[in-house]
Amino acid sequence: MVTLMGKIKSAISALGVKKLSRTPGMHTVGGVPGLYLCVNVSPALSANMNPTFAASWIYRYSFSGRRRDMGLGSYSDFSLEEARHKASSCRSQVLQGIDPLDDKQKQTDASKKAHIKRVTFQHCINSYLDAHGDAWKNAKHRAQWRSTLETYACPSIGNLNVAHIDASLVLRVLEPIWKTKTETATWLRGRIESILDWATVRGFREGENPVRWKGHLDKLLPSPSKVAKVKHFTALPYKEIPQFMQQLRGQPGIGAAALQFAILTATRSGEVRGALWSEINITERLWLIPGDRMKAGREHRIPLSDAAIAVLKRMQENHVSDYVFPSVKQDKPLSDMSLTATLKRMGRSDLTAHGFRSTFRDWASETTAYPQEVCEMALAHTIANKVEAAYRRGDLFDKRIKLMDDWARYCGGLLADTDS
């Protein structure tokens, strides 16, 4: 059953082995039966180069009627004495009826299993973000991924072995917020699914993904569209905007100026608070927001009305920061609470900065004849119809110039409620 290969040959010295390391072939080196020096040679790539020799130690033996070669390491990494010691240990295993190669594989498998037992869901989050973070459009997106997972998933499953996460554990995470924070729960489900897919590919878990929606969680949880509550931002009726703007112009502070600019440009408060002077071209009457600051991830051109330019020129008088609307810490953008505080001072805590985008949309729909696509482009909304989006290549900038001028005039009480 066990056959020891090779006859005991007189031991070759280290110097002799060194000479053999430049001779292609399988060379017995003596000292331990079955110990060989295997030398391979790669031809020179050019006339000016020498051939490359690669030598490694091999222990050759027969087990259960099969000849087997076991690598013991590179000649450059292990000395002759170390190679003989390794071969002697393997020979002892064979004499005991143990296959050295099978035993090595078992040790490798055991080590891998022990490592897998230590791989937690939190570890997989960190590794996944390290592997994929650079592909995301901005640091904020990466932070949102981590925040969502660590806030809602990690308290329950963060320290668990990722291989043990099943549908019951996933439901324990999702069910408490599925109906009350449906949008967040939907994002969370998708992110957990991605983490577990990554863990499966890396060999840390096996089987179907317990977070997959179709054919699995869709049988256990109601459809998000049936339980999600649409969040409507409180909007000022458009007929009240001229009077509101007159009151707002009398408010002091950078927050009030930022709110004016947000209303006049129909932009999101985050886009205004993060606005940089490098994005503004007063001469061309243009504000160019780069894609990494836009919700849809695409660059957005905004035509600037006279009223919007006037706000910018007032901010230019005390230009001390790269930000158009800086915070007290001049290297930081203005806080969102600054706009909220302005509304509160005006006695309009019932309103939100974002709601003025709805005010603009209602005004455009009900009092003007501007096409819907022009108004939607002014709001930088994504076109839901993929076919329409494919055909519409431009941003309707020229048409939006007049739209935003009319909006500014209406806000200033200079345009009546009549169709354009």
- Kindly list the domain boundaries of the chain, sorted by start residue: 2-115, 121-227, 238-411
CATH T-level fold of 2-115? Double Stranded RNA Binding Domain (3.30.160)
Q: Are 51 and 40 in contact (CB under 8 A)?
A: no
Q: Determine the pLDDT at residue 9.
A: 54
What's the token pair of residue 382?
Answer: 């994504």
pTM of structure: 0.50
Here the tokens at position 204 are: 């840390």
Q: From the CB of residue 191, how many other CB atoms can be counted at a distance below 10 Å? A: 20
pLDDT band at 391 (very low <50, low <70, confident <90, very high): very low
10 Å Cβ neighbour count for 277?
A: 15
pLDDT band at 232 (very low <50, low <70, confident <90, very high): low
Q: Which residue has the tokens 């919700």?
A: 295
Segment 74-85 shows an average pLDDT of 91
Which CATH code for domain 238-411? 1.10.443.10
pLDDT of residue 17: 83
Element (H, E) at 342: helix 336-345
pLDDT higher than 70, residue 8? no
Res. 387 pLDDT band, cuts 50 70 90? very low
CA distances from 337 to 146, 154, 352 (A): 24, 29, 11
Per-residue confidence at 334, pLDDT binned at 50, 70, 90?
confident
pLDDT at 85 over 90: yes
Res 357 pLDDT > 80 = yes
The pLDDT value given to residue 332: 80
Same topology between domain 121-227 and domain 238-411? no
**% of the chain exceeding 90 in pLDDT:** 46
CA distance 323 to 332: 8
Domain 121-227, classified CATH 3.10.20.90, yes or no: no
